[in-house]
Structure 1
Amino acid sequence: MKCKTKITSLSLLILLTGCSTSSDTIRLYPSQDESYSKNIEDGRASVVVYRESHVIDGTTVNVYINGEYLTSLEPNAYSQETVCATNQKLYSQFTGKDPAYKQKATQGQLFKLKANEVNFFKIVNIGNQPSLSPVPVEQAEKELFGFRKQQHTLRRVEYVKNCEQVLGQYDLSDSCRKTPSFRAEI
């Protein structure tokens, strides 16, 4: 029994020593030359949100899609997500400025996303507050050069969702459209 314990202890010690002396470094981000993905599931849309360092000062910027957390963007970083190719409400706010998370549910802008395409949005400065603005592909590709893909947070955007095309044409955030006549129209 003592011999088994000694062998197990020695094995663990050798294993830990080998791991701690490895010359490989841990990378928090992929290499800077990694670009966004152009592979999009049929009928879906891809959203790339990025933040340039010179646009707005402040803490990280939380980004939400339909009130669901996507990422907290650092300067010169981007995040990508696949969603339904319909109206999507995008919202951004400095980290810690909405402690009860009420604004993410009630504020934001609706954008009609293009199916089977990458839709680009960048953080802009509107009255010293972050906001999202759509960007043409050519401009986004130039501005994204050298940016890192942000991967250190757990997104909560629902990827596996039934994308119903009928509802996508309506602005469902407007409470007056949720009347019986509106439901009958759908």
Structure 2
Amino acid sequence: MFARHNTLTAALFAAAVCAMPLAHAEQQYTYRSADIQSFGNGYQPVAPVSDGQAQVIYYRGTDGQQRGSANVYVDREFHTSLLPGGYTAFCVEPGSRTLGAYIGDAPSYRGKTTDLYSAKLEGGKTYFLKVRENGNGAPLAVTRADAERELAGSRAQVQALSRASKVQQCNFVDKPAEAFKDYALSGDVLFAFGKSGYQDISSRGRVAILELVTQLNREHAKLDRVVVVGHTDPIGSYQANQTLGLKRAQTVRRLLIDGGIPSTAVVARSAGSSEPVTDECYGSKAEQVVCNAPNRRVVVRVDVSGQ
């Protein structure tokens, strides 16, 4: 918990993790055309940093109740302004740092002068902090798993130039390649075109998922990390495809849990149309829909590193 000029307690250190579970939550914020230049790429899980840096992911929920942006300050200097559904990722030197995010900050600019919240950040750690919507500028420490559920569909905030002199470019460390096995389910078998809900799953789709659960239990002694990734075709907007992919992944996740896989082991995320199997589809819309069938899929990725 952050406190004015107090050292960070164990609660925040519990939120700093080196493992990388992938998790997602359905997007609720609707991006307006005026927001397009305010946002960059969608959130992707961040790599660990060297011991000489601490990494901070500061984000604002997609369901932000307050209007306007939240000004983020690092050591009393302006870093960025977060809109609902936006996030910023940055690094600082380890040690005591003053952090906060303030909605409706002007003209008092409390993050520079008052309501200062200090924390001791450890080198090599990644901290996930959420903007409070109740007017309290203190960062809300969140575990990585919970944060990445909420970060699904969030996009980098890019409209403001950071003036925080202590913010550094992150020096990421190489990680061993993850060991996993993928199981692909045809999106056209699971859902009708454009559909994604639990009630939209076809009878063939339900059978396919139950058969997959049986196969997973047969092939793996333990299932402690399963990532469900929704993929779409490129027809439609970027945001619509991200949302559709996420909803489909969440539906398949629910059915895997119904089949007996522990809910704590299964997370969902969306790749949208960013990872096509084929990208050479032309002609009329009907022809493109047929050609893009391989791109419409849900991939169930099983971590086998401990097996």
Letter of the 1:134 partner, please give it: A
Per-residue CA deviations over 1:7-52 (Å, capped at 9, x if unaligned) read xxxxxxxxxxxxxxxxxxxx734332x4253252431101111001
Taking the aligned partners of 1:143 and 1:42, their CA distance within structure 2 comes to 27
Taking the aligned partners of 2:114 and 2:49, their CA distance within structure 1 comes to 29
Residue 149 (structure 1) aligned with residue 159 (structure 2) = no
CA RMSD of aligned residues (A): 2.3
- Counterpart pick for 2:56 among 39, 44, 47: 47
Spell out structure 1 runs of 4+ moving beyond 3 A.
27-31, 100-103, 128-131
8 Å contact 1:92–1:108 — kept in the other structure?
no
- Match in the other structure for 2:301: none
- Match in the other structure for 2:223: none
Summarize the Cα distance change of 1:61–1:148 in structure 2 as closer, same or farther, 3 Å threshold: same
Tell me which structure has the larger Cα radius of gyration. 1
More strand by share: 1
* Structure 1 residue 56, shift from structure 2 partner: 2.9
Residue 31 (structure 1) aligned with residue 41 (structure 2) = yes
Secondary structure of the corresponding residue to residue 64 of structure 1: strand
- Match in the other structure for 1:124: 132
Per-residue CA deviations over 1:126-168 (Å, capped at 9, x if unaligned) read 3x4554211111111111111101111100122478xxxxxxx
Summarize the Cα distance change of 1:160–1:100 in structure 2 as closer, same or farther, 3 Å threshold: closer
- Match in the other structure for 1:164: none
TM-score for both structures, normalised by structure 1: 0.62
8 Å contact 1:125–1:131 — kept in the other structure?
no
8 Å contact 1:91–1:104 — kept in the other structure?
no
Summarize the Cα distance change of 1:111–1:56 in structure 2 as closer, same or farther, 3 Å threshold: farther
- Counterpart pick for 2:109 among 67, 84, 101: 101
Taking the aligned partners of 1:160 and 1:75, their CA distance within structure 2 comes to 22
* Relative contact order, higher structure (CA 8 A, sep 6+): 1
- Counterpart pick for 2:101 among 88, 92, 103: 92
Secondary structure of the corresponding residue to residue 54 of structure 2: strand
- Match in the other structure for 1:134: 141
| Unaligned ranges ≥5, structure 2 | 1-35, 169-307
Per-residue CA deviations over 1:102-135 (Å, capped at 9, x if unaligned) read 5523322112223112111001133x45542111
- Match in the other structure for 1:68: 77
Per-residue CA deviations over 1:40-82 (Å, capped at 9, x if unaligned) read 2431101111001324312101010110111100001100111
Percent identical pairs in the alignment equals 27
| Unaligned ranges ≥5, structure 1 | 1-26, 162-186
Taking the aligned partners of 1:113 and 1:105, their CA distance within structure 2 comes to 21
Taking the aligned partners of 1:101 and 1:55, their CA distance within structure 2 comes to 20
8 Å contact 2:99–2:138 — kept in the other structure?
no
8 Å contact 1:30–1:149 — kept in the other structure?
yes
Summarize the Cα distance change of 1:102–1:49 in structure 2 as closer, same or farther, 3 Å threshold: closer
- Match in the other structure for 1:56: 65
TM-score for both structures, normalised by structure 2: 0.39
